[in-house]
Chains A and B, each alone.
Chain A
Amino acid sequence: MRLFSRANALHLGLIALLAALFFTLPAYHTGNLARIMVLAVFAMGYNLLFGYTGLLSLGHALFFSAGMYGLGLAMHLGAATPAPAFLAGLIAALIVSGVVGFLALRTTGVAFMIVTLMFAQAGYLTILYFGSYTRGDEGFVIQQAQRSLLGIDLSDDTNRYFAALILFAAALLVTGAIVRSGFGRTLVAIRENEQRATMLGYDVQRLKLIAVVLSGVLSGASGAAYALLFGYAGATFATVQYSIFPLLWVLLGGAGTTIGPLIGAIFMFYLIDYASGLTNAYLLLVGVALVALTLFASQGIVGTIRARWIRWLP
């Protein structure tokens, strides 16, 4: 019980800190943080599958873009308002992740990685193929006038920041509750020893499929929110790069930790931001930093802190 209260206190404290940062940081950084919080939800979705269930997917860009295009097309072509469009994004991600999970979970290990990668590539090509609707590579803008929820203009910096924070807070509390539940502990058991979980009578395939769908819906929520808050949907978000990003964020922050995805996303975002200000060869600096971190903190930032100093970190 004590562990639970400490974990909840940490989560609530983090949410409060992020709210307070809006009033203390310059506009440039609050703009960055709004984007990072939305992308951290993507990373949290990825973490649920990779960090807790032990399934390494290379196709999460598909789930992110399913949410993004589910909302985007509903608003762009169907003139839907934000709330039903967001729901459309979630449903699109749910359906896509359900189908992909059902088929991809017939494989394991490297084959699972390849199959998810192929599905994501197929999704990317589908977006390009139906360019007359999706505007292909170019993408499309969601008009500012459409991005108003209950009279609140989500293109406004303040509103956007707190909308991103609300989404992040909801995702953090929900994933925190999931991973501490019996279901979440069972996912960890599957990650630790899948055969042993099977021998106890668990329907491991069904549990893994639920994990894929939950992960996909969280990723889709992030994609839908990204399109809504930043007013743009494009095929770039369906490329393999956006399948690699959440993996990196989770690895850097700490796989199997609840706040690791946010820390990893912040670290990566500002590492690129800072390095690109120093040199055009900033990717080299980023690469060196990532290799160093991997060598000296192989469990990621939060994972290493938990392993060495604060064992109760969720």
Chain B
Amino acid sequence: MLELAEVTGAYGNVKTLFGVSFSVAPGSVHCIMGRNGAGKTTTLKTIMGLLTPTGGTITLNGADLGSESAENTAKRGVGYVPQGRRLFAELSVAENIQIGLMARRSDPATRDWVLDLFPPLKTRLTQRAETLSGGEQQMLAMARALCLRPSVLLLDEPTEGLQPSMIAQIRNVVMKMRCDGVAVVLVEQRSDAVLTMADHVTFLENGRSVETLPIAGLKAAPEKLTHYLGV
């Protein structure tokens, strides 16, 4: 169980998070929504250890995660797919996956498992990552993170700029992770994607979590999307 309680944070002297709280159970998808600048990506970076929280607690299965470096957070089983993919552009698809596998000394079976999740990558193994299409790059970024066999997966706008068929593939993988017991934290702007993937939604406003509700609650009150997102 990943739990955030009244987490505050800052970029240097600029405060960005003013109290974010939610919890994500294994085998569930938790979506963070909010307007631009609400603190969604900052929240993910803070969970990952790329930013140090200035207050509150972040725990994973009861153990403190807030004071860990990004390196140790990854070793604790948290995988992160940042916005914009950030691949190792000059390395091939196979090498990108290999880098992910070596990080946790994963076995070849993990490589096969990951490639089975993203079949299009099988035909692109020797191709440089920078030459892939946007959708394939997103698949590779997710594949590399999944090489860690994470218990928590942080996804920052994984469907951004993708065509519907690619979005469907990403959604299928997220659902499979959920079935495998992974706790997925998803930052997403597309409400249709959220409604088909998430179990719970937390809305952020100005760096603060203002409401968390189950997806059924959001479906029953779609006006909340308009209220919090202006859509």
Interface residues of A (CB under 8 A from B): 182, 185-186, 188-189, 192-193, 195-204, 256
Contacts and interface: CB of A to CB of B under 8 A. Distances in A.
A202 B148 CA distance: 11
B213 interface: no
Contacts of B102: 182, 186
Given A182-B98, A199-B50, A201-B71, A192 B91 contact: yes
Given A195-B70, A197-B99, A201-B148, 11 more contacts: A182-B98, A189-B88, A192-B87, A192-B89, A199-B70, A200-B74, A200-B148, A201-B72, A202-B103, A203-B71, A256-B90
B187 interface: no
Contacts of A204: 71
Contacts, number: 61
B80 interface: yes
Interface string B54-95: 000000000000000111101100001010001111110001
12 contacts: A186-B102, A188-B95, A189-B99, A192-B89, A192-B91, A193-B86, A193-B88, A199-B48, A199-B80, A200-B99, A200-B145, A201-B71
B158 interface: no
B176 interface: no
B122 interface: no
Contacts of A201: 71-72, 74-75, 103-104, 148
B4 to A, nearest CB: 18
Interface residues of B, number: 26
A254 to B, nearest CB: 13
B144 interface: yes
Contacts of B98: 182, 185
B14 to A, nearest CB: 19
Contacts of A182: 98, 102
A267 to B, nearest CB: 24
A200 B86 contact: no
A189 B97 CA distance: 11
B9 interface: no
Interface string B135-155: 000000000110010000000
